[in-house]
Structures are given as structure tokens and as C-alpha cells.
Amino acid sequence: MGWGNARLNGAAAVCAVQLPAIGLIWWIRILLGDDYAYAGAYGFLSVFVLACLLVVAPLILPVLGLAHAMAQIVPAEALARLVVRRARGPLWAWHVLCAAGLGVVWAGLAGLLWHWPFTVTAPLLAALGVLPVLGLGWLRRRTRGFWGVWLPSLFASVGLFLLVFLGGVLATTTGIVEEYEPPALSAEQLTGVWRGDEGAVLSLGTDGRAELTDLPSESGSADRSAEPPFAVCDGTGTWLLDDKGAHDPYAHDPYGDGPEGRAGVVVRLDGECGQETYWRIGGTESEPELFVPFGDPDAPELRILTQG
């Protein structure tokens, strides 16, 4: 069976069914992740973006559904037809397997280009190919026009969205999914080399000494709107672990974590470049981060260091 306009329309519709629910899962994941010390602005922005997406969803979902179909579902069927010529089994089953396999291939490409975690991306992209193939099998047994395809897609999409929403609410209220908590790192765990964008390097020694290269540091300027809102420094200094957040300048900020602040690393430079800088601890136990939101708390410029 070829891919005429009617069948491509059906493929786009069944692919579009799962996209709003996926967007909601992504949004929930962001809200439950690290807010990087400016939760107020971050939360409002994410809610605003979600509201805008819901408004324009009827316009963009057909386009995104067609793009997904052309990238995964259509080529997967071509592969399935080649396999069926040499192997036993129904075409739809091979179509499902090929769609899942193609999702794994796209995940590998995304990992190479954008460093997306393969172990997370591969199963997600593989799963994205299963529902559309099954949906196409359901549509193939029925003769439907444009609205006969897209109205069921709309109802199914809304139902799946509500199911994910209710599941997310239930999971958070019952404690199955917990809110983000930064890792509690010891001084030994913090010791080592931390790297950031544009060649920034912070080396934390076991003796409390620090070496830094192209490292963003507090500029000491009272003008929070200055560009850039930090100084870039090289040299040496000292560091200490503040597990109570007593040195946290954002502790009493409306976008901070409260009066105790968050545990972090205090870096003091020996030279005249920059001021004492408080690097908050973020990330996870397995992939820790150090970060500073420089500048205006309403629109901070975030700098992140990762270990290794």
C-alpha cells in the first residue's frame, strides 16, 4: 500500500495524538527539576509557554504530526516491507519493530549532535513509533475523510493529555514522584576539576586552594543589568564548602530557596579580578553541577559547571 495524501493525513493524525501528552510530561519534568535559584520567574515562564502552546496547538500539531510521520513512520514501513520479503511475520508487526528501531537510530544521532542521554532518549523515541503504527492499522480498516481522521485524533489527544495530567497530580500528591532536592556533596566529592562553557575551568584542591581559568565571577558592580553581569577571571584562590548556605547571596532573594539558602562552594580569588563568588550545588549525586545565576534575578544569566 502506497503513501497517498489520505494515508499521509492519517499518519500525521495518529502521530499528533501523543504530542500534547509528551509536551505535558516534558513540562512536569521541568517543574520537578532544579529551578537554578529563580523558581518564581522560571515557573511563570514555563506556565506561560505551556499556555501559548495550548492556544496554537491546533495549528502546529498537524505540521508536527506530519514531520514525525515522515521521519519515523513512513521510512519504517519501507524497511518493514523489505524485511517481510525475507522473513516471516505480519507486516504490521515488522512495522512496529522497524519504527522502534528507527527511533533508536534517531536517538543515537541526537546523542552525537546535541549530547542527549542515549539511555533516556532511545526508549522514548522508540516508544513514539509504536502508537502511530497501531493507529494506522485501526484507520486502515475504515474509510474516513479529513474530519473523520482528525476529530478522533483530537478527542484521543485530549483524553491522553488529561490522563497524563491526572497521573502527574496523583504521583506528586502521593509522593510517588518527589520534588527535586539538590545532592548533599562532601568536600571530598567536590574536589577535582569543574568545567563550563567557553573554556571555563575551576580546579578545587584537597588543601582548600583553587585554580581557575576563564571562570565567571561576581564583578562587584551594583548594576545588575550590566553586560556581562560577571567578570571572567584567571588565577588562583581559595575555596570552602558551605553546607548550610550561610554565604548564599540569594538566600533572602524572592527567587531563592529560603532563609537558609542552598549548599554551595565559596570561591575567593587572590588577585583583583572579580569578587567572592558563591557556586550553588545542583544536578544529581551521579552528575553534580555548580551554578551561579548572575545579574538581575528576574532575568539571570546562568553559568553551570560540571565535574570532569
Per DSSP, the residues of 61-96 read: HHHHHHHHIIIIIHHHHHHHHHHHTTS-S-HHHHHH
Task: Say which residues have a Cβ less than 8 Å from residue 203's Cβ, sequence separation at least 6.
Answer: 192, 193, 194, 210, 211, 212
The C-alpha atoms of residue 140 and residue 137 are separated, in whole angstroms, by 5
- How many other C-beta atoms can be found within 10 angstroms of the C-beta atom of residue 152? 18
Strand blocks (E) in the chain: 192-195, 201-204, 209-218, 230-242, 264-269, 277-283, 288-294, 301-307
Name the pTM for this structure: 0.65
Residues 39-98 have pLDDT tens digits of 444 455 556 666 666 667 778 888 999 999 999 999 999 999 999 998 888 999 999 999
- Closest listed residue to residue 14, CA positions, set 65, 63, 64: 65
Joined together, the cell numbers standing for residue 122 give 532511545
pLDDT given for residue 254 in this prediction: 45
Residues 91-121 have pLDDT tens digits of 999 999 999 999 999 999 998 988 788 988 8
Residues 254-307 have pLDDT tens digits of 444 444 578 999 999 998 898 999 999 998 888 899 999 887 766 678 899 999
The C-alpha atoms of residue 273 and residue 271 are separated, in whole angstroms, by 6
